[in-house]
Structure 1
């Protein structure tokens, strides 16, 4: 299923016309190298435990959506993605939404909750960033090495095709640029009024627990952290059982029947 947003085609995981209108919709927001397919069966696992619509989409430039039309990102690209998400909510007439965002998707979820508090019922993030850290830069530099010297590019090509180089370049060159080192979205956190579950692995290769502490401390709504031992940047892949269990508890807590 595709939608046209700002003249670009975005690929969605399902027919958006078939969403039961009275249900809460959980929207999954992928990471900096992700797409609908790379969520694998995790959204369906969440759908199986709750009475919610489940939806994910490829952001502009990723997966099966339209390719990038620029060769360089501005430092506010995540804010722009949150505003695009707002347009998606309007076009689909969604007013009761839970966002589940991983990495870049987590940052987008935080920004969207700040921008559209009347539409977002709750947010769940994994490995979200609200500022740039030395550990983030170190992790991205290692990803660049792997892209050059391993089959990482080949594996990503399966999902992004001819867009693969652009997807990788947009992520790494943006975050490694000198101008991006001052990027910070903490000023938006007090505007987040909905409940949130902030998940991070202790061994996250792209950020420290300072990201979690900042989010939990600064958001206005009730915010709880889930710190997972021996887990890296992708908790929903590394330990899906505990993530599904905690998501179930969170949804019940905010009044969504499971």
Structure 2
């Protein structure tokens, strides 16, 4: 495929007006391979502590291998997007709200029309993978495909344990300093994610009931050494979505795009090209 001259794409800001009880938001976003106007779009949905900057160059590499355009953005509370106010706690259905409201509003704001959405792909990691699944279930006739990397479809003890351990690292170790490189308001990012996952009410969160609505091609990927989840997550996806394909990565933890990118990229490229 033809390769474009590499450069760092500019980060833009989209203003989302207040709607149905949601406050107005400003979301930072970035186009990758913007010049490929005839190519399908891949939307990248980051993990629970992620942002545009935290993806680094992995989305660009995926887009290059597939010849696609890419869209990356920081969800509210992360990166340079509208921060979470200190006294605001994410609700139990916070991922549903991102899938059903915020992502569609962003697509509207930046002019991705119905025709483009019908062949759009969504790649999500961790919480972003869960949001990708919820979006695909809500819009079953308007998506080219989904790739969910280390997604959560219900809450496991191992997830809660790892997040509790992250609290200690954030308060007593160097995790806060590391994350501050990627978020304008680092406490907004960390405690928004940390507080809801450790909320006892969140233990009942479970999205398996909506998975059967997903009609588009779906690849679910999990590392055998994932400290935040087990193979039960993607096995549950397969049990509810007969056409789902699974990739289980050996010697890989929760972040395959950082820990085993070659295996991850190969699985993604093979899957997308098979469709």
Smaller-chain TM-score bracket: over 0.9
Among residues 219, 227, 231, which one is paired with 1:209 in the alignment?
231
Among residues 223, 230, 233, which one is paired with 2:251 in the alignment?
230
> Whole-Å Cα distance in 2 between the matches of residues 245 and 128 of structure 1?
19
After superposing on structure 2, the runs of 4+ consecutive aligned residues of structure 1 that deviate more than 6 Å are none
Question: Structure 2 stretches of 5 or more lacking a match?
Answer: 1-11, 18-23
Q: Which residue of 1 aligns with 2:15?
A: 4
> Whole-Å Cα distance in 1 between the matches of residues 187 and 50 of structure 2?
13
Among residues 188, 202, 219, which one is paired with 2:210 in the alignment?
188
Q: How many residues align?
A: 251
Superposition pairs of residues 126-145 of structure 1, within 5 angstroms: 126-145=149-168
1:147-169 deviations in Å (ceiling 9; x for gaps): 122111001111113x1112111
Describe the SS at the equivalent of 1:59: coil
Superposition pairs of residues 41-52 of structure 1, within 5 angstroms: 41-52=57-68
Q: Is 1:165–2:182 an aligned residue pair?
A: no
1:56-99 deviations in Å (ceiling 9; x for gaps): 00001110111124611110000000021122233422322111
Residue 30 (structure 1) shift: 0.2
Residue 118 (structure 1) shift: 2.1
> Whole-Å Cα distance in 1 between the matches of residues 195 and 84 of structure 2?
15
1:198-235 deviations in Å (ceiling 9; x for gaps): 11111111111110100111025x21111111111001
Among residues 97, 113, 117, which one is paired with 1:80 in the alignment?
97
Among residues 82, 100, 107, which one is paired with 2:130 in the alignment?
107
> Whole-Å Cα distance in 2 between the matches of residues 66 and 90 of structure 1?
18
Question: Structure 1 stretches of 5 or more lacking a match?
Answer: none
**What TM-score, normalized to structure 2?**
0.87
**What TM-score, normalized to structure 1?**
0.93
